[in-house]
Amino acid sequence: MAVIRDANSEARHRLCQKLESQGNDSRVVEAFWKVARHHFIEPALAFRAYEDVTLPIGYQQTLSRPSVVAHQLTQLLKDRDRLRFVLEIGTGSGYQTALLTHLCTRVYSVERIEGLYKIASHRLAGMGQRNFRLRLGDGFEGWSGVGRYDGIVAAASPGHIPEAWLEQLSPQGVLVMPLDLGNSQRMIRVDNHADGAKTTDLATANFVPCLSGVQP
């Protein structure tokens, strides 16, 4: 790993070691090393940026724990050399979008809360990466017109698998999402195959709900 010298690099290094020891994909751990999480939260909370904790990002939304994000991204990359187009549902702070820019050719990310969309747009524009597009919209509809996605990752939990996500997934694509079962959530992976989709139950989950419509 290249050495990045800033006030947080030691804490970031410890977090990456933890993610590595949890068995996450080395490409994912490398992305966590490259992206400064403290740039995606309120300055007052920056001292907690590299702890394995959920942090508030305003508008009653949260930035997921690093270990949960790393697990989702590891599942997305599982058995795959390279992901081309990836759709992210729930841009939020833009942190996971930034991680994804290092893991695929192009990221398309949809956020329904205008305030978060604007903050994330501003932050991500200040990064070196250019291979992403953001949209203010209802993620239940996915993002059509791009082509089919190799990967779809949701940071908000719907009560069913939205039809549009399956329609927009490529024939070998993979969808990783927290599914809301009413009184609990499960992280699931849906692998598309020529003979139909196969769903794998991965872990318990605890995400914000996936809500319809845009919030100005």
Closest CA to 19 of 37, 31, 36: 31
212 a catalytic residue: no
CB atoms within 10 A of CB 146: 13
Q: Which of 9, 21, 26, 64 is catalytic?
A: 64
Q: Which is nearer to ligand SAH, 5 or 186 (CB)?
A: 186
Q: Which is nearer to ligand SAH, 111 or 172 (CB)?
A: 111
Q: What letters, b where the CB count within 10 A reaches 16 and e where it falls short, cover 59-98?
A: eebbbbebebbbbbbbbbbeeeeebebbbbbbbbbbbbbb
Minimum gap (Å) between residue 182 Cβ and ligand SAH? 17
Q: Which is nearer to ligand SAH, 136 or 197 (CB)?
A: 136
Minimum gap (Å) between residue 202 Cβ and ligand SAH? 17
The residue ranges that bind ligand SAH (CB under 6 A) are 57, 61-64, 89-90, 92-93, 95-96, 110-113, 116, 138-140, 155-156, 208, 210-211
- φ, ψ (nearest 5 deg) of residue 21: -70, -20
Residues marked as catalytic: 64
